[in-house]
Structure formats: C-alpha cells, structure tokens
Structure 1
Amino acid sequence: MTSAIDLLDEKIKSLLEKRNFKELSYTQEEAIPPIFYGKNTLCIAPTGTGKTESAMLPVFDKLLTSEGEGFKAIYITPLRSLNRDILSRLEWWCGELGLRVGVRHGDTSQYERRKQALNPPDLLITTPETLQAMFMGKRLRKHLENVKYVIIDEIHELAGNKRGAQLSVALERLVVYSGEFQRIGLSATVGNPKDVATYLCGKRNFELVNIPVAPHLSISVKYAGDDFQKQAKFVEKCIDSEKSSLVFVNTRITAEALGHHLFERGDVDVHHGSLSRDVRIEAEDKFKSGKLKSLICTSSMELGLDIGHVEHVIQFGSPREVARLLQRVGRAGHRLETVSRGTVLATGFDDLLESLVISRRALENECENLSLIVDAADVLSNQISAIAVEYGQISFDKICSIVFKSACFSDDKEFVLKVCRQMEQHRLIRMEEGMITKTGRARTYLYSNLSMIPDEKKVKIFDIVSRRYVGTLDESFVVGWVYTGAVFITKGQLWQVVALEDGMIKVEPAYKMKGELPSWEGEQIPVPFEVAQETGRLRRNRNFSRYKSDRKSINFAENFLEGMDKSNSLIPNDKLITAEHYDEGVVLNVCGGHRANEALGRVISVLLAARFGTSVGIEVGAYRILFRLPKDIRATDVVETLRSIEPPAIMGILMIALKRTAIFKWKLVQIAKKFGAIDTDADYEKISIHRLIDLFDKTIIAEEAYRELFTQHMDTQKAGLLVENIQTGITDVLITPLSAIGREGLSSSRDVIPPLSTDQAVINTVRQRIENENIILLCMNCRKWKSKTTVGRVPDDIVCPLCGARLIAALKPYEEENIKAVLKKEKTNEERNIEIRLLRNANIVLSSGKNAVRALSARGVGPDSASRIIATMSSGDAFYREILKAERNYIKTHRFWQ
C-alpha cells in the first residue's frame, strides 16, 4: 500500500528520516494528497495529530521548485503566540530545505519589517490584522503578487466572528494581486465542517478531510464536591496520578485560585491570557522540559501550542460546550494512535449533569455548529475604507465583485450602498458617479482600526474597606452587568458594587452569591440550548446508563433528585418550567441555555416593567432566570406574562426594550467607532445615550448593533421555541415552593471561588486602615497648637501641650485649609460657619475622646455622622461596622448633595 509520503520530494523524505519520522499519522495520510494536488482543503482533526505538517509538507514540496520574488506562502494564525510556536517548528524545515521563513505581527521590529520589505521570505507567518496592514504598503502589495498558498491555522477560532469576516474579504483582496491561490484550513472539530470550508473558500470547490476525534477519546466525569477546598484536593490527587497533565478551568479567577492552593508544591504553574508573554513562555518551557508536572490554564492553552507530551487533561467544572471539551482533551496523547484521556471534575448538581451531557455528546461526535458572521455592516465599512485607501479610487461595482466572493457577505448591492452612504457621512470615502474615492481621514481611521476586536477601556475597581484598588473590569462587562448592588467576582473574591462614579467602580466584599455570577474577564462561556435541553431531559428520565461516570458521582445526582421527590418538589426539566419565590423576587427554572434564557428573561422583564410601572432586575443562567421584583409582583404575574408572549413578537419587543439599555449603548458605540462615526478614544461614559439614539436611529449602525446582539448575545429563535412549546402543551409551567434546584442558583455559582474575606477580616481591615489614617489635631481653645500625626498615635487623653485645654478638633489632611479661616479675626459668614463646625468637632472629641478621632478620620464622616456613630454606643467590632456603614452611605449619596 502506497503512502502519502511517496508523493513528496526526496529532500523532504530524507528530512523525515532525519527527524526519526517512522510513519505519517492517519491525519497526514488523508490530508497530504489533496493538498499536494493543489486542491483547496479543510483539514479537521484532533490537536497534536500533525495538522501543521499535513499542510506544510506538500507546500514545501511545491516551494522547492517555485520561482519569482515576493511571498510565496502565507501562514495565518489567530494569535501571536501561535506565530511564535509555528515559526519555531517550521524554521528547521525551511533551513534544511534552503527556504526563507519570517514572522510579521504587531510586535515585529522595524528592522525586521524593513528586511522583509527589501528581501521577502518565501513563507510568511502572520496574523489576520497584520495581513490587513500589508495592503497599505506599496512595496508589500508588490510582494503579494506571487502568493500561491495561504494556510489558515485554527480556522474555527476565526470563522464565527468579525475578525474572521474581515479576513475572508482580505483573502479576496489578495486574489486581485496574486490570482487564485490554494487555500488550506486547519481546524479542530466543528459540527458543520462544510460551512467552515465555505468560509475558507467562498464559492470555490474544496476537499474536506474530517478525522473524527471521538474514537480516540476517553472521557470520564467525576463529582468533586461543592466545597472549593475539597475540589482543590481532588485536582491535586488527579495531578499526582499522572506524569504530566493540563488542568483546564473556565476563568482566570479559578486558575489563580487553584494555582494559589497548589503553589507550594513547586511543580504546578498557572497559564492564562492576562499574564505577560514572558511569564507564559517560561511556564510553557518548564512544562516542556519536565520541570513542571502540571499547568493550570484557561483557553490560552486550547490551541495547538507545542508544550510537549500531555498524559492527561483535567477539566475543572463543566466545559460548557462540546467543542471546547474536544479541543481541550485533544491536548492529551499527542498522536492519533494514542487515546486522549480526560476527566471532568464537576462542582455541583447542575455542573455534574451538564458535564455528563457534554461528555456523552463529545464521545458521539455531536459537536456544536459554528455560525458564520454574515453581512456585518461594520466589517464591510472597514474593508471598503481599506480598499479605497489601497486603490485611491475604485468603482462601486469592483468593490462589490471583491466582497461578494466572500462567504461572509450576500450579493446585496443595496446593502453595500447603504453602508457606503453611512461612511460618506463620516468622511471615510467620497462617492460620485459610481466611483469611490479615499479621503484624507480614511488612512488615519485604518491605522486605529486594523482589527475588528472592539477597543475596550479598563475600569478600575476601588475597595472602600481597604481604600485601595483591587483590579480592573472590561468596559463591556461594566456595561452589561454592573449596577449599584451587583455582585461579581475578581481576584478570586466576591465584591458588591456600592457606587459607580469618578470613572471607577466602588465596591466592598460581598458574601451572598446569586445565580450565574458574572466573571470580570468576559469569559462567560454560554451553554448551548441543546445541551441545556438534554440536561433537563436527564433530570426528567434519570437514565444515567448512557452517561460515563463513576458510581459515587451518579449516586450524588440520584440522591439529589430523590431528595426533591421526598420533599414533594417538582423537578424543572426539558418539559417543565417552574416559577419559585425567593427573598428578592422569583426564580424561573428554564432549561434553555444562556442565550435563549437571556432573550426570554429580557422580554419578560420588559413586559412586567410596562405592566406594573416598576424596574425589574434579571440575572440569567443556563437553567434559570432570576427576577428581582417588588414585593407586590408575584410568581403568578411572571407566569401570566410568560404565557402571554407571542413568539413572532419577541424580536420586536427586544428591539424596543434594548434601545435604552446600557448594553445596546455600548454596542452602538463600538460599531460607531468601527464606522469612523466616533473617535476610537472617545469616552463611553461621556457620550449621551439619547444623543446616540437620535444620531444613529434607523441607520445601518443601529441595525448592526441589533444584528450582533441578536446573534451573539441572545437567541430569539430558541426563546420563541420555548414559548411555542408552552402554547402547544409540550412544556408545562407551574408555580412551586422554592426547591433545591431553585436554591442551587441562589446559593452557588460555577466558576466562583469562595471569598477569602470574612466579616471579621473586613472589620480588621477597617480597624487597621483607620489606625493608619493621617489626622491633624488643632486646639480650639488657644488656637496656637497644631499636630500632624496618625490616628494610632493619638493618646487616649488628648490635651493641648500649650494651654492644657481638651477642646481639640480632629481634622482630615484635606481640611487643613480650614485652619486659616478660624485664625482670622475678621471672618466672612462662610469662615464663621467653618469655625462653628470645628468647634462642634472639638466638642465631640472632648466628650468621646479617641473614638471620636477615629470616627472623624473616616471618609465622608463629619461632626453630624460622627455624633450618630458615637450615639449608637457601639464598641469593638460593632463600632467599626458603624464607621463602615457611614462611609458606604456617603459614597452612595454624596453625589446627590447640593
């Protein structure tokens, strides 16, 4: 039987022998022939099975006989870190074959860029954004004329987002210079491979090499308990049982918390996107060399970085999606002949059942479909601007002929014209007699909009207890989730928002956890509708025989459900929605997944708000929607509202409802920036939402904001299906007492690490901070003695050393200016009022001593507040609680003061 290796040049065969390559993997045997014969090819195969060599060996073969100047092959990866990894893997091959290879991305030095411009390598490794930039350079455009091969690695990371839509147009722009080139895509498992291949090739023919991952997987699910300390020990036990392992978690918070717990071992490190490049590389190198036994990582390690052999993958908590589990477990084993072993450690009842469902679907190759971004108006605006700059002047029809070859745009000239007219308003192009001309502003716009990734500010988090900054939040998270009273997690702790002001979020430690608490990184992985529905079905039929787990874990799930039976609780499932009262409102248990529940929850909240004339708060998870409601709105009202919804009306209701929301405003701002309608550095907070609505209402910018919200953030179709099932009797809706499943959402949250803070720790922090506050003591009797000190150094018996009086005022440092007013002989009315206030201050210190000084040093506490604190007769911890209460009240209310 002949092997694909026989197709390759003798030089390549000898190099394979030199690398001790005994035989090609099954992936390589299947993928090399179509690529060798010049066919556009999408290769879908598990991680670590030689996809890169599958693409590059036949390309190297062709490059050996390729003539001409300029780039001949372009290798595109979604991440700079992958560029680095691919370069290190391909440099050896190119060096041995006499080919030149280079890498170009945002961090490439000017020296290296100039070298590439003067003497371009045969193979260029780059990112989608850097490819965009290359069209702007006259010399680089010339070097693109000889491109014969374009390889897109990890194509599934691009096909379903706006970066990918932008890249698809860039490939069609490249065709204008190079003519048709061979397209090669490398991907992890996806549910709809033909759609991804169409994304890669447009309307061209293609070959599909699809290597199923499921036969080579071994996945088990184990319940690790709902206590973080137990879970961490479970993780440690799994690490100890293997030579090497990757521990995948869903958020950076969890990664840091587990890393902290295991740090003292010395053979475990943390790897995630927020860490610096140098720290990540060091961790990768240590793991590869065997100095580390395990890496705790987020999605940063999902892609095919070469970190050496991984024996076992541990997934901490449900992976939320089948594709994510396949990608992660695929990191173990590293060859197709080797079974990739993974263990999912579930952290609660919801988490366990969901993990069982996702594992079953993974083992049966039931991966989620990847939805292509189609007709994204801001992407089109960006690319028309780029094309105008590239050519100077170009016909409208020529632009359409380029764009319409991309699978991400439909053949709709009216849509393109609408986008062009909007662009003309913002001076990105000029349109006249069927011609589009660049403007002076267009090039400036492009330099700050090479990427379709939204520019996001970081908003500081300020802890009012310790009076220090504890981190930052992404702007999108602040807009979508943060409000006064909201609880979120960062730095492994729970925080409650006290106020949003001065460009920051003021918080205090929180203790109560409700629902699916949002995570600051915007890393909330949405659970798909199909997974949530099957999880509901498993609750209903309890047929655990289809699902792979140990007896102990299955017993936990069965006992949980039996416990509900014994308490006569109805169990919400795929055919039963239950409404239950809790302290702050109603929890609606719906097995709809995040996006469908988001749409349904928002519609219900809008209708309730309109009916009762009150604001309604919601928190959305995959299996429940929490409504924060006034006491007079009951579960019957929520159920009546749910039953009254007409499925066709859902989108219309949401369009009206979203119009005035912060998330729509944020999306509108982001898209307007990509249209050049708002400067990229414009401050989100200072832009009036009413002005935005007036400016962009009924424009293509607003339409795009809605399109993105309805496709990326919520699923109106699946929400409509949930409502249809109620109306046709497939699904029942009942009002029940608060159940264990309802409480699951109120009392716990996946990806939440229990806060290190306790009430006592908070009080200790306040006490320590107060003792270290700077204070100015002033004698209001002789008015000659002044002392600057800290509260801790103030004696219990406060006496003026000059006159012996005890009438001592305690001032904050910023009140020092007031001393000048009281020393004047002739005083204005305002200065007299200051003197009266300082005398009141001194009288409080006279009557209450050092406790008065402590109270007066606190933020926003003046004589009146200090008197109220002292009047409570509190002592010890209770005294400091009163101080914290006063500070919190000041932060919440001072902006309303006259």
Structure 2
Amino acid sequence: MTRQELLKIAQSWFTEQGWKPFKFQKDTWKAYLQKKNGLLNAPTGSGKTYALWVPIVLNYIKNNPDYKTRSKKGLKAIWITPLRALSVEIEQAAERFARGLGTNLTVGIRTGDTSQKERAAQKKSMPDLLITTPESLQLLLSSKNYDKTFENLEAIVVDEWHELLGSKRGVQVELALSRLKTVSKNLRIWGISATIGNLQQAREVLLGPKSEALQNSELIRANLKKKIKVKSIIPETMEKFPWRGHMGLHLLDEVVPIIKSSKTTLLFTNTRSQCELWFQKIISKYPEFAGELAMHHGSINKETRLWVEQAIRNESLKAVVCTSSLDLGVDFAPVETIIQIGGPKGVARFLQRAGRSGHQPGKESVIYFLPTHAIELIEASALQKAVEKKAVEDRIPYLLSFDVLVQYLTTLAVSNGFFPKDIYPEIKSTFCFQAMTEDDWCWLLNFITKGSQSLQAYDEYKKVEIEEDGRFKVNHRGVAMRHRLQIGTIVSDAMLSVKYMKGGYIGTIEEWFISKLTPGDIFTFAGRNLELVRIKNMQVLVKKSKKKTAKVPSWMGGRMTFSAQMSELLREEMYLASEYDATSGKSEELSALTGIFDRQKKESVIPKSDEFLIETFKTREGYHAIFYPFEGRFVHEALGSLLAYRVSLLSPISFSIAFNDYGFELLSDQEIDMQQVLDNNLFSAEFLMDDLYKSLNATEMARRKFRDIAVIAGLVFTGYPNKLVKSKHLQSSSQLLFSVFRDYEEDNLLYLQSFRETFEHQLEEGRLRQALERINNQKMIWRNCEKPTPFSFPIITDRLREKLSSEKLEDRIRKMMKSLDS
C-alpha cells in the first residue's frame, strides 16, 4: 500500500466521524510514515492522540496486508504518560480508531493502578499498544528477558513531555529510551508537548543530542488560533492594606453567580488545603450545591477521582474545586468556565488551565481570575498581556542526576544483567549524562558493587555482583524485590491512608501534617470534617464529626513560586503602575488598584523600571527593612539570607526573615544602618556562592535534599507496602549517610549532587545571579516610612500567619488596619 492510500484510509475514517483532520495531524502522519522521529507541539484538547496513534496503525496495516484476518502478537507501541488519570482517555481514543479500521490491535494500560491479575495476563501476552508511566516502564526493564518483550517495538510516544522534561522522571525516560533504541531496531520516538519556551531543546533532550534520531526528526507545531479570554473578578470595595489570609473567600458571593450561569465550572486552586477550604465554604454557605459540587486533588482516592472525571464528562456536576490534578489532558469537552483562584505563579500553567474551557478545537476559552488579595490584580493584568504575547517559560532539564542512574543500573542488573562497555555509550548519548566522565562511570560501578569507599564494610550496599564473564548482575532475590518496590523518582513525605473506623478508604495524607494532631482533633479532608481516632500501621483511622471548626491539612507541595517569566511580566506591570496617571495603556485591573497606589505613593513610592525600592519603618515588633526585587519567593528566600549575612558582617545584628513573591523583610530589634548597606554594594554578585554557603546553612539544605537522593539511589529502603518506614526514620538514616560522606568521602558523587541540586533547583542560583546584576544597575530608592505601606502589608501578614491561628490572625490584622487607617 502506498503512503497516499494509507493516508486516504485515515481521511475517510475522520469523515465518517464527521471530523476534519488538522494540518498538524496530517503533517505528523506524513512524517511518521517517512520513518521520522519528532516532537509535536499541540495544546490540550486539540486531537494530539490521533496525530500519533493514526500513523502507528497505518504503518501496521502497511506491513501486514492481511491485518483484518490475522494479527501478529506482541508489543508494537508504547505510550508514556506522566499521569495515570490520562491513560483511560488515550485507551478509548486508540481503541476507537483501531476498531474503526477493522484491525485486531489491542490496547492495554500498565500503571500503579493496574491489578495483579492484569499484570500477569500482560506477562503472558502483551497488548499491541501499552499505555504506561515512566515508573512502570522501568519496572518492565527490571523483568527477566525484557529484550524479548521489546524486540518488535516500533514506536514510543511520550505524552505531556513538557511536564516530564524539568524533572527526574524525564531523566528516567531518557535512560529507558537509550536502552530501547538498542533493543528495538526499527524504533521511532515521538514526544507531545504543550507550548514551552525551549521547544528545540525539548526535542534534543527527548531524542538525544548528536543522535541519529535527532538528525532524522521534525518539530511540528499545531498553529491553532486558540482564543483565550481573561476576566478578572474585581471586588466592589478595595482594601487599602491587602493581605492573603482570606484565600479569596471574601469574593465567594461573586463566584457563585458565575457557577450558576455556566453548565460546568472548574475552580482551580494552587494548593490542596485551599481546595478543601473553598469546597467547605461553598457547601456551608450555599447548601443547594450539595450533590452538584465535587472536589478533585491528588490525595483523594482513585475511585472518587474517576467518578468526578466521569461526572464532568456527562455534565452531572455543576462545579469541581480542584488543583493541578486536572491541569493535564483529562478529556472532557463540556467544561464551559474556568475560575483561577489566586495567582497561578506561571504563564504556562495559566494557559494550560485556561485551555480546559472550550476544550475543543476552535472554541474560545474563558478563564476568570480571582485575586486572593488586591495586589494579585497586578498579576492578573500581567497575565492578560502574557496571553496576548504567548510568552511562556522554559523547562530546564536535569543534568548528571547520578541517583537516577544508580537506580537504572541496578534495574538492568536485576533483569538480565549488563556489560558496562555496552551500556556506557548508551548512557553518554543522553542529554542528562553527556558530560559524565570515565572517572564518574568507574565510581558508579564501584558504588553499586562495593557500596563506595566509605561503605565497603557493609554488605547491604553491595547489591550488584560481577560475574565471571564480566556481567554486572543482582543475584539476591531479596535485593531484587526491594529494588522493584522502590523504582521511581517521586519522593514525598510518607503518605498515610485515611480510613473510617468502620471501613472505607478516603484518600492519603502526608505524615508531617498528621503527626501534629492528637486523637480527638478535627480536620477537614476530602470535603468532610473528620475526627482523628488513632494512627495504626500507616493508617489514619477517623470518624465523621459534626463540629464546625476544623484544621485544614497543608501539603508539602503547597509552596509555589513565580517563574522567571512571570516575575518579569509582573515587574513590567508594576513599572506601568508607577506611571499610572497617564490613562493610556491602563488595564481594568490597574484602574481598580488606584486607591492602593495612591496610598502607596503617599507613604512611599512605586518603583520605576530603573529603580529598586527599600522601605524601613518601626512598629512594636521592631525595626523593619523591606526590599522589593519582584523575583518570586524562592529567589527572595536566598536574597534575604544573603543580605542578612552581609549586613551582619558590617555590624553584629540578628534578623528574622520573611518573604513572598514580591519582596522580603528583615526584622530586627536594632535599627539597620541603611546608608551603610547602600554604600557597601551589598547586592553584588561577587563571592555569591561563598556567601550563600555561609548565610543559608547550605549544608543543612543539602542534607534535606540528600534524603530524596538517598531514596532514589536505593541507599535507604522506604519499606514494604502497608509497612512503610516512617519519614523521621528515613530522615535519620539518610542524615547518618550524609555525615559519613561529609567526614570520610567528600568526593562522593551523590553527596556532591545534593549541593548542586540545592543551588541549581532550590535556590535557582542562575536567577539569583541575574537578579543581583539587575538590582546593581538600578537606582536605590530608600524610603524611611512612618508605618507599614500597602506593598509591605502582605509580607508582614504572611510572617504573622506562621505564628498565629487563623482566628487570632484576623483579629490582629483588623487591629493593625485600624491603626494604619488612622
């Protein structure tokens, strides 16, 4: 069959469905049938599944002319997805097309949710298309004779590649692909990515730099003119001193009419605790929504999540309060309206969420922005412009993640074993490990066989044996089993199951939150008020409670920061606000903030593009110095510590540091000599690394980072299912190893990696350096104020929140506002 005949088959099927294929779909079919690899850049809901599954089936038809009567068994294609929730959608779309053309191709799913029975059936006979996650693919590589399973594999599609790219799961995928390229001779690799800033680099990471696959590849863009309408929910009365404490709930009555006038609404929150709170408040104030309102976040049990997703599809729910768990491609066309509660911290995330509305080609997306405090309206104004410019962030790939490599080498040793001379060039061909040296490689081989220089005396670290023929192999069944249980790179705090005393699983919650509660305490979870009865065997046993006041769980993932792109957009908007007297170019959001800007100008200034603002004032708490780089909380955390350390070198003074996305505060019981700070160029980027080490207690941060590295590399065992090791024990085991390496083996690659990741990923050293260079070129504007300003107020209240309960905080803030208004 010629290529034209094959394409005609696909075209006819589309016509039968009443559809018309897009140009990007046809371009992808053509490129695939020309035996090319590539990256498809297409938004959610644009038909990307059919862009790649169609040519895989067409290629099968071409190679098997009698495809309707006979089927050639065995795995032909793998579809990798970062989220288990997406697998059902892909399965349905794939089966629809395969059946529509009369093929006998089978589709199967293999994720953490797949039953033991289904896995056993797959072991005997693999489906033609397997939909799986990066972790489950690694598990397949750990099984005996995996090369036989994959030898006839023709295609790998990596969905939502932008999500995997900037994470260690992306490194897992790179390593798996490096192996499968060798095992499967006719392999074609394709990625699907939403819009990111560095698409060319994303393709290079996926296919491998300098690889043949990259030379023979295409980057295909779906130029769909997606209209996105951003509407801000602006409060009728604007507070003069904005603060974040009410989580946007003061605008609840403005939100309900929007929900009522839409068929289906998704309310996106940034954290699971905010999600729980909004759900509770809507139901308690508007009980008529009972049965029509649901909640969706990653800690709720799978059955409930799937029920919610299905209910959105068949429009039996009016609204869902959710987190990023619904960011990615779960496909439900009917969603009419999106409400974003609070700043999304990044342009790409905002666009992704906006795209869930009008989630069909050609439909307009409508997204409402609800500020949790007034200053967030500046973010709304900045996002309006970002949507127009399509300004999105880069995803920065990981480099030299030796913990993932140690895990991968052990995986290969558990299955068939490996010869270093064969595997080394494959690993070097990946983006992540292109700079690995032969010395690094020898160290890693020593590490998995002898447990590194300082652990040689302990047999538990000698996992891999070197056989007579030079093959590296795990021969101990216990080692192999423990390794398989721990494959993966997502290391979170130990998760405990939440169950009713009488039975019934509700979801999972992080140990660090539950450890703060005592039996009898009431907490909100999955939309219910629950009373803690006891904790037993990694299970939180609860019963329903009728009490109204409850603690809302907070999850470790709740700390989000501005992306570099978002920070830049915000600064541009802020500079515009400084000149807001000129009416041209002034957005509705900036107009609404007139009162706050007037107050800010009265008490201090709004900085212009060439200015850097510092405010000082005294309250009963002490002497405050507030700095405004507008660079995001992670950069401010590092900047605050750096400046506090440099000031202390000039005069002995101690500070408490507070920060948010706009700026940071140094609070002391002594007055800072600000003129001395300005005269001594304390924002210099010189000696940055040395000063950061001393100021931040970088060793302590690296020690915390090392826990994750130790778990991924298999240095510490997280436990068996239903008998997990408590996180405090994990922490103490990894801290002990960290101390051993620090004292006896400073060149240990995993020990060094913990520092590198602390600086590169947690402290964003590159961004920090750029921020310092920018500040150094700005004119310092120091205002000694009489009292807190509107800009400083959110930073002060954020610090108070850490110390006070929500009721006490609201009382305290009311008093503060009263005194400031006088």
Which residue of 412, 426, 451 corresponds with 2:436? Answer: 412
Q: Deviations over 1:205-255 (max 9, x none)?
A: 321112356753222334346764431122212222322222211112222
2:218 corresponds to 1:207: yes
* Residues 391-402 of structure 1 mapped to structure 2, 5 A cutoff: 391-395=416-420, 397-402=421-426
Question: Structure 2: any 5+ residue segments left out of the alignment?
Answer: 65-71, 452-460, 499-506, 517-522, 529-537, 540-548, 720-724, 812-822
Which residue of 590, 596, 610 corresponds with 2:635? Answer: 596
**Distance in 2 between the 1:664 and 1:274 partners?**
28
Alpha-carbon distance change, 387 to 654 in structure 1, aligned in 2, over 3 angstroms: farther
**Conservation of the 8 A alpha-carbon contact between 1:189 and 1:326:** no
Q: Deviations over 1:747-777 (max 9, x none)?
A: 369999x97756999xxxxxxxxxxxxxxxx
Paired position in structure 2 for 1:353: 378
Partner secondary structure for residue 339 of structure 2: strand
Which residue of 18, 25, 30 corresponds with 1:28? Answer: 25
**Conservation of the 8 A alpha-carbon contact between 1:589 and 1:742:** no
Paired position in structure 1 for 2:58: 61
Which residue of 689, 703, 709 corresponds with 2:758? Answer: 709
Paired position in structure 2 for 1:146: 152
**Taking every aligned residue pair, what percent have the same amino acid on both sides?**
24
Q: Deviations over 1:289-345 (max 9, x none)?
A: 121122221111111112232222221121110000111111111233222222222
**Distance in 1 between the 2:354 and 2:678 partners?**
45
1:601 deviates by 2.0
Which residue of 113, 133, 143 corresponds with 2:119? Answer: 113
TM-score (norm 1): 0.72
TM-score (norm 2): 0.79
Alpha-carbon distance change, 549 to 595 in structure 1, aligned in 2, over 3 angstroms: same
1:712 deviates by 1.9
1:155 deviates by 1.0
Alpha-carbon distance change, 576 to 659 in structure 1, aligned in 2, over 3 angstroms: closer
**Conservation of the 8 A alpha-carbon contact between 1:536 and 1:572:** no
Partner secondary structure for residue 107 of structure 1: coil
**Distance in 2 between the 1:760 and 1:639 partners?**
35
**Conservation of the 8 A alpha-carbon contact between 1:317 and 1:751:** no
1:163 deviates by 0.7
1:115 deviates by 1.8
Paired position in structure 2 for 1:895: none
**Conservation of the 8 A alpha-carbon contact between 2:79 and 2:156:** yes
Paired position in structure 1 for 2:185: 179
**Conservation of the 8 A alpha-carbon contact between 1:528 and 1:594:** no
**Distance in 2 between the 1:549 and 1:137 partners?**
61
**Distance in 2 between the 1:725 and 1:345 partners?**
31
* Residues 533-682 of structure 1 mapped to structure 2, 5 A cutoff: 533-542=568-577, 551=588, 553-569=589-605, 571=607, 575-581=611-617, 583=621, 585-607=624-646, 616-629=655-668, 631-632=669-670, 634=672, 636=674, 639=677, 643-644=681-682, 646-657=684-695, 662-681=700-719
Alpha-carbon distance change, 399 to 564 in structure 1, aligned in 2, over 3 angstroms: same
**Distance in 2 between the 1:686 and 1:292 partners?**
46
2:271 corresponds to 1:251: yes
Q: Deviations over 1:65-117 (max 9, x none)?
A: 44654200111111111112222332233334321111112232232222222
Which residue of 200, 215, 218 corresponds with 2:229? Answer: 218
**Distance in 2 between the 1:32 and 1:452 partners?**
33
* Residues 262-661 of structure 1 mapped to structure 2, 5 A cutoff: 262-263=282-283, 264=287, 265-266=289-290, 267-395=292-420, 397-413=421-437, 414-423=439-448, 424-425=450-451, 426-429=461-464, 435=470, 437-440=472-475, 443-458=480-495, 473=510, 520-542=555-577, 551=588, 553-569=589-605, 571=607, 575-581=611-617, 583=621, 585-607=624-646, 616-629=655-668, 631-632=669-670, 634=672, 636=674, 639=677, 643-644=681-682, 646-657=684-695
2:738 corresponds to 1:692: yes
Bigger shift: residues 582-591 or 556-565: 582-591
Alpha-carbon distance change, 656 to 176 in structure 1, aligned in 2, over 3 angstroms: farther
Q: Deviations over 1:19-57 (max 9, x none)?
A: 332x11344244332233222121112211101111111
Bigger shift: residues 97-106 or 151-160: 97-106
**Conservation of the 8 A alpha-carbon contact between 1:320 and 1:355:** no
Bigger shift: residues 217-226 or 146-155: 217-226
**Conservation of the 8 A alpha-carbon contact between 1:587 and 1:742:** yes
Alpha-carbon distance change, 389 to 689 in structure 1, aligned in 2, over 3 angstroms: closer
**Distance in 2 between the 1:170 and 1:721 partners?**
35
**Conservation of the 8 A alpha-carbon contact between 2:28 and 2:51:** yes
Alpha-carbon distance change, 214 to 420 in structure 1, aligned in 2, over 3 angstroms: farther
1:179 deviates by 1.8
Which residue of 38, 42, 45 corresponds with 1:41? Answer: 38
Alpha-carbon distance change, 615 to 691 in structure 1, aligned in 2, over 3 angstroms: farther
Paired position in structure 1 for 2:458: none
Larger Rg, first or second structure (1 or 2): 1
**Conservation of the 8 A alpha-carbon contact between 1:76 and 1:151:** yes
Q: Deviations over 1:730-757 (max 9, x none)?
A: 55566545321011222369999x9775
**Distance in 2 between the 1:45 and 1:149 partners?**
19
1:149 deviates by 0.6
Question: Structure 1: any 5+ residue segments left out of the alignment?
Answer: 462-469, 483-488, 494-502, 505-510, 512-516, 762-898
Q: What code does the residue aligned with 1:56 have?
A: W
Alpha-carbon distance change, 344 to 755 in structure 1, aligned in 2, over 3 angstroms: farther
**Conservation of the 8 A alpha-carbon contact between 1:250 and 1:319:** yes
**Conservation of the 8 A alpha-carbon contact between 2:716 and 2:733:** no
**Conservation of the 8 A alpha-carbon contact between 2:638 and 2:696:** no
**Distance in 1 between the 2:799 and 2:23 partners?**
42
**Conservation of the 8 A alpha-carbon contact between 1:354 and 1:532:** no
**Distance in 1 between the 2:587 and 2:779 partners?**
33
1:604 deviates by 2.6
**Distance in 2 between the 1:137 and 1:324 partners?**
37
**Distance in 2 between the 1:624 and 1:314 partners?**
27
**Conservation of the 8 A alpha-carbon contact between 2:629 and 2:775:** no
* Residues 643-792 of structure 1 mapped to structure 2, 5 A cutoff: 643-644=681-682, 646-657=684-695, 662-681=700-719, 683-687=729-733, 689=735, 692-696=738-742, 697-729=746-778, 732=781, 736-737=785-786, 738-747=788-797, 757=807
**Distance in 1 between the 2:687 and 2:485 partners?**
39
Alpha-carbon distance change, 229 to 367 in structure 1, aligned in 2, over 3 angstroms: closer
Partner secondary structure for residue 375 of structure 2: helix
Alpha-carbon distance change, 687 to 169 in structure 1, aligned in 2, over 3 angstroms: closer
**Conservation of the 8 A alpha-carbon contact between 2:642 and 2:696:** no
Alignment RMSD: 4.0
**Distance in 1 between the 2:107 and 2:257 partners?**
44
1:473 deviates by 4.4
Paired position in structure 1 for 2:502: none
Q: What code does the residue aligned with 1:409 have?
A: F
Q: What code does the residue aligned with 2:443 have?
A: K
**Distance in 2 between the 1:6 and 1:223 partners?**
55
**Conservation of the 8 A alpha-carbon contact between 1:148 and 1:180:** yes
Paired position in structure 2 for 1:90: 94
Paired position in structure 1 for 2:14: 16
Q: What code does the residue aligned with 1:348 have?
A: H
Aligned residues: 718
Alpha-carbon distance change, 664 to 75 in structure 1, aligned in 2, over 3 angstroms: same
**Distance in 1 between the 2:609 and 2:553 partners?**
24
Bigger shift: residues 452-461 or 225-234: 452-461
1:161 deviates by 0.3
1:272 deviates by 1.2
Alpha-carbon distance change, 573 to 651 in structure 1, aligned in 2, over 3 angstroms: same
**Distance in 2 between the 1:108 and 1:210 partners?**
34
Q: Deviations over 1:420-452 (max 9, x none)?
A: 334332324457999562344652452133101
